[in-house]
Amino acid sequence: MKWKLPNLELPLDGRPLVMGILNVTPDSFSDGGNWADPGAAIARGLELVRQGADILDIGGESTRPGAVPVDETAEAERILPVVRELAGCAGVPISVDTRHAAVARAALAAGAAIINDVMPFAGDAEMAAVAREFGAGLVLMHSFGWMATAGKASAGRVTVDEVESALREAVEFAVSSGISRDSLTVDPGLGFGKDTVSNLEILAALPRLAKLAPVLVGASRKRFVGEVCREPAAALRDGGSVAAALWAARRGAKILRVHAVRETRQALEMVAALDAAGERLTDV
């Protein structure tokens, strides 16, 4: 199994790929403002690669509960210098986290290889055409209610059936639009309009979603992790986030979108070593 990108195919049949989060925003829920300066963002991206990131996901618009939407011009101004530089020197594929087709097009022209569409085709109907034109990898994320609740925090009950149905429709639309199925991954959109019970049930049901396309999971530092672990500070939720990532990997997730790249890589490598030891004992 491989993820088809422009001039590259990423293997998806080994350990999960680790996608490092790089927010160049002033208001993201965990690290807003830390990397808003392009120079700082570029340095952070290179550090994430040194820590073991297989992909860098660059975002210029916060999607936290209560965030104010950003227009595409401002978003592009934030991300393009960072995308352009890292695409030339990071040595890993660059993903752009956006709902705007114009931003995706500019980022792909600047060297990005993946569109992480946080509102598959609903945010911008031209996104499918952009993905097809560039042969980009495309992440289709379920984002129930995000735009409807922009400006206020809101989360409710969302069933696995609803997520599965919406993602199936997104995949079918993408394929009918001429996008290669091998270019697609799906993301259940943990935290986007979903309460804690919903998020936990969705994680438990990942094998169902994996039948649609390779699954990307982004649990890192989300509110539901804080609620389960009784940790109000987003930046202090890495322990729970790594546990969620390992659970997701066990249930078929192929890409893990995380803040704590080093810790996630170490956890995956440790589990792999333990699995190998167990298999050796079984073979004796």
Catalytic residues: 222, 257
Contact 108, 126 (CB under 8 A): no
Q: If DSSP codes are grouped into helix, strand and coil, which group holds residue 144?
A: coil
- Indicate if the alpha-carbon torsion angle 192, 193, 195, 201 is positive or negative: negative
174 to each of 2, 49, 179, 184, how far by Cα in Å? 18, 30, 6, 8
CB atoms within 10 A of CB 208: 16
CB atoms within 10 A of CB 196: 16
Contact 16, 268 (CB under 8 A): yes
Distance CA(235)–CA(218), nearest Å, equals: 15
Distance CA(168)–CA(246), nearest Å, equals: 25
List of residues 6+ apart from 193 with CB closer than 8 A: 143, 144, 145, 146, 148, 149, 154, 155, 156, 158
